[in-house]
A and B are shown apart, each in its own frame.
Chain A
Amino acid sequence: MNTLIHLENIVREYQMGEEVVRALRGVTLSIEPNEYVAIMGPSGSGKSTLMNIIGCLDTPTSGQYFLEGEDVSDLDDNELAEIRNKKIGFVFQTFHLLPRYTAVRNVELPLIYAGVPADERYERAVAMLAKVGLGDRLFHKPNELSGGQRQRVAIARALINNPSLLLADEPTGNLDSRTGTEILALFDELWRQGNTIILVTHEPHVAQHANRIIHILDGQIQKEESKTSSIPV
């Protein structure tokens, strides 16, 4: 009953001109709280579509999606926005920070749409930036930060509203390997603190950090690997 995510035979089709493209062809999947899951697959496999649906950015053509027991497969735009705001934290490959905003303001963003008063927003954003190791970069704008620091700001933003789920799409894709390792270490740490993390990646060494790896191919789950514990502590 306390399953975090339950996907039931999810199908997602796109109309591309005359053709119907079936990006997902019946995916059934459950994820429990505090799991650390990697979704792997080559480009075009449907892993991005799956991530969009899990992240409530998109809705399935058919099938059902229960997030914390609530059916979210048929919600409208505004209801989905509210779910995303409260339950999902996104981390993107390209960071998606607002260039004119300082780190604090970027992190505050989800709280604005949650209606949190300004002073509380600020305090929480400062605390969260300190938590991801950017306590001394509060008022820097994205172009004054390194790639790794930018991704930390994005992670702080993802965590700011205490989401049930952290959804990271190729979070190390735009980083050099050393910085990438640091970011992955941060994810490991967040998982140990009790967060549920889903990583979407095509790099096996990134997926190795998870304790469950789901391989997607041609819109279906090809295979799953489980590990008793995640790597290196």
Chain B
Amino acid sequence: MMQRTLNILAEFGESIRIATAAIAANRVRSLLTTLGVVIGVTFVVLMGWFLDGLDSAWEHTISNLGYEAIYIHKFDWTGRTPWREARKRPPITIRQIRTAMTQLTLAERAYPRGNAWGQTVRSADNSIGGIAVIGTTSDNDWEVANSIEAGRFLAPIEDLTASYVAVLGYNVWQELFPNQNPLGQTIFYRGKKFRVIGILKKRGTLISDWGDNSVYIPFRVFQLLHSTNFSNYTLVVKAPSQALLPEVTEEARMVMRKVRNLAPWEPDNFSINSIDAFEQQVRTIRIAIWGIGIGMTGLSFLVGIIGIMNIMFVSVVERTREIGLRKAVGAKRRAILLQFLIEAALLSTAGAVIALLLSQGAIAGAKFLLFPGDLDFTASIIPPHLMGIALLVAVLVGILAGFAPALRAARLDPVEALRYE
């Protein structure tokens, strides 16, 4: 047993030395051989890196929205109800929202919200377009509780008295007040002056940055600025806890049906949106990335395996005499098999190391050169677990690719092999 362990250790060490020497002796050939593995591992790593980022961005979004809230709106945010169909629904009016709010008993809070997309706001010197102006009440404060950079959110009194005050999302205040303190400054929206009372931290990501491109104003002000047939109102209902969300949702549905005079046989003519809906969108993105990624990765690993297998067969033929000699002086089949498997695995691992360096370069390039700021949800260094996976996959690919050549080498007849010219 002891002797056997020693044997395997000695053979293992020898195999690694042989493999490194063999790879070093044919650097260019080895490099080209590992191209498939390099591409494959690069795909895996970049894919994993992006999905990791997506996950953390998603957690971030959840912290913005929260699992406890539902958003009752004319449209379905994920498109489960086709837009054409939802368009025919009667608008959700402020009156309906106010009535519903008085009838909800289980909710922790319920409040109205109006969203005006594609708006332009100005400061004295700058302007920003394509932003969302959100009219809401102080009850909306929970959504931005952790995101106040300076100042404060809307106060109850400001809604009651329809004060012209505004809370600015990150991109908005960055754009309007680049080198100044925005608090107390004036912005212009729809010809009215608003005093800035709060600014928000960066919350958004490449996937959803509307949070950074928005301005919060009191709901009553919003109402005054928009015509009576403006219809983009949402009833936000927040449950006391996530566990109570189903009951709260069900009550809200019943209340809304009553408020909108639906007969029992009629379907809901509104949508109850929740974080689940977003979750499904994120899931769809994930699946799409995986689908493309796995296809590409599989293909490149196949190329990698074939490349390494081919070069290993060549290597076995080139070293026939060496194999014969090793067998003559006592190398068993196992030792020869191990030697070539390790060489293949090392070749493949070298490819993975190159791929890791390339990926790291690509990540740095994408984050800091191509999309500065937009990829902030991703890590700047390849996460360690991905490195582990990449190296493991490379070793497996190497062993898979090296097995047939190694077996051929191990089975060579020593007499024939020694005589090989």
The answer to whether A109 touches B10 (Cβ under 8 A) is no
Q: Which residues of B contact A92 (CB under 8 A)?
A: 418
The answer to whether A96 touches B418 (Cβ under 8 A) is yes
* Chain B contact residues, majority secondary structure: helix
The answer to whether B415 touches A57 (Cβ under 8 A) is yes
Binds A, one of B253-261, B274-282, B325-333: B325-333
The answer to whether B328 touches A90 (Cβ under 8 A) is yes
CA distance A86 to B330 in the complex (A): 8
Q: Which residues of B contact A57 (CB under 8 A)?
A: 328, 414-415, 418
Partner of A84, one of B9, B13, B322, B328: B328
CA distance A133 to B321 in the complex (A): 27
Q: Which residues of B contact A109 (CB under 8 A)?
A: 325-326, 329
Binds B, one of A60-68, A111-119, A184-192, A203-211: A111-119
Q: Which residues of B contact A118 (CB under 8 A)?
A: 10, 13
Whole-angstrom distance from the CB of A13 to the nearest CB of chain B?
14
The answer to whether A115 touches B3 (Cβ under 8 A) is yes
Whose C-beta in chain A lies nearest to the C-beta of B8? Answer: A115
Q: Which residues of B contact A218 (CB under 8 A)?
A: none
Q: Does A78 contact B (CB under 8 A)?
A: yes
Partner of B329, one of A52, A84, A100: A84
The answer to whether B11 touches A113 (Cβ under 8 A) is yes
Hey, what's the 0/1 contact readout for A73-115 against B, CB within 8 Å counting as 1? 0000110011011100010100010101000000001111111
The answer to whether B322 touches A98 (Cβ under 8 A) is yes
Q: Which residues of A contact B8 (CB under 8 A)?
A: 115
Q: Does B6 contact A (CB under 8 A)?
A: yes
The answer to whether A110 touches B330 (Cβ under 8 A) is yes
Whose C-beta in chain B lies nearest to the C-beta of A79? Answer: B332
Partner of B330, one of A58, A96, A113: A113
CA distance A115 to B13 in the complex (A): 11
The answer to whether B328 touches A113 (Cβ under 8 A) is no
Q: Does A47 contact B (CB under 8 A)?
A: no
Whose C-beta in chain B lies nearest to the C-beta of A109? Answer: B329
Q: Does A157 contact B (CB under 8 A)?
A: yes
Q: Which residues of B contact A58 (CB under 8 A)?
A: 415
Q: Which residues of B contact A157 (CB under 8 A)?
A: 329
Partner of B6, one of A52, A55, A84, A117: A117
Partner of A81, one of B4, B14, B25, B331: B331
The answer to whether B415 touches A113 (Cβ under 8 A) is no
Q: Does B160 contact A (CB under 8 A)?
A: no
Whose C-beta in chain B lies nearest to the C-beta of A53? Answer: B415
The answer to whether A96 touches B325 (Cβ under 8 A) is yes
Q: Which residues of B contact A113 (CB under 8 A)?
A: 7, 10-11, 326, 329-332, 335
Q: Which residues of A contact B321 (CB under 8 A)?
A: 96
Hey, what's the 0/1 contact readout for B300-331 against A, CB within 8 Å counting as 1? 00000000000000000000011011111111
CA distance A96 to B7 in the complex (A): 23
Central interface residue in B8, B9, B13, B332, by most chain A CB within 10 Å: B332
Partner of A52, one of B9, B14, B332, B415: B415
Partner of A112, one of B11, B328, B414, B415: B11
Hey, what's the 0/1 contact readout for A118-155 against B, CB within 8 Å counting as 1? 10000000000000000000000000000000000000
Q: Which residues of A contact B415 (CB under 8 A)?
A: 52, 57-58
Q: Which residues of B contact A116 (CB under 8 A)?
A: 6, 10
CA distance A81 to B326 in the complex (A): 10
CA distance A100 to B21 in the complex (A): 8
Q: Which residues of B contact A82 (CB under 8 A)?
A: 330, 332
Central interface residue in A100, A115, A117, A161, by most chain B CB within 10 Å: A115
The answer to whether B10 touches A117 (Cβ under 8 A) is yes
Whose C-beta in chain A lies nearest to the C-beta of B335? Answer: A113
Whose C-beta in chain A lies nearest to the C-beta of B419? Answer: A48
The answer to whether A78 touches B11 (Cβ under 8 A) is no
Q: Which residues of A contact B330 (CB under 8 A)?
A: 81-82, 84-86, 110, 113-114, 161
Tell me whether A100 and B333 are in contact in the complex, defined as CB-CB below 8 angstroms, given that A115-B10, A117-B6, A118-B10 are known contacts: no
Q: Does B27 contact A (CB under 8 A)?
A: no
CA distance A109 to B305 in the complex (A): 31
CA distance A70 to B327 in the complex (A): 21
Q: Which residues of B contact A81 (CB under 8 A)?
A: 327, 330-333
CA distance A37 to B9 in the complex (A): 38
The answer to whether B10 touches A78 (Cβ under 8 A) is no
Whole-angstrom distance from the CB of A48 to the nearest CB of chain B?
9
Q: Which residues of A contact B334 (CB under 8 A)?
A: 78
Whose C-beta in chain A lies nearest to the C-beta of B330? Answer: A85
Q: Which residues of B contact A112 (CB under 8 A)?
A: 10-11, 13-14
Q: Which residues of B contact A52 (CB under 8 A)?
A: 415
CA distance A67 to B76 in the complex (A): 87
Whole-angstrom distance from the CB of A61 to the nearest CB of chain B?
14
The answer to whether A85 touches B10 (Cβ under 8 A) is no
Whole-angstrom distance from the CB of A158 to the nearest CB of chain B?
8
Q: Which residues of A contact B324 (CB under 8 A)?
A: 96
The answer to whether B329 touches A90 (Cβ under 8 A) is yes
Whose C-beta in chain A lies nearest to the C-beta of B325? Answer: A96
Whole-angstrom distance from the CB of B418 to the nearest CB of chain A?
7
Q: Which residues of B contact A110 (CB under 8 A)?
A: 329-330
Whole-angstrom distance from the CB of A161 to the nearest CB of chain B?
8
Q: A77-B332, A84-B330 provided; 8 other pairs, C-beta below 8 A?
A: A57-B414, A78-B333, A81-B327, A81-B331, A96-B324, A100-B21, A113-B10, A115-B6
Name the 8 nearest CB pairs between A and B, nearest first. A85-B330, A115-B7, A115-B6, A113-B330, A110-B329, A96-B325, A78-B332, A81-B332
26 pairs from A and B in contact (CB 8 Å cutoff): A52-B415, A55-B328, A77-B332, A81-B327, A84-B330, A85-B329, A92-B418, A96-B324, A96-B325, A98-B325, A100-B21, A109-B325, A112-B11, A112-B14, A113-B7, A113-B10, A113-B326, A113-B335, A114-B7, A115-B4, A115-B6, A115-B10, A115-B11, A116-B10, A117-B10, A118-B10
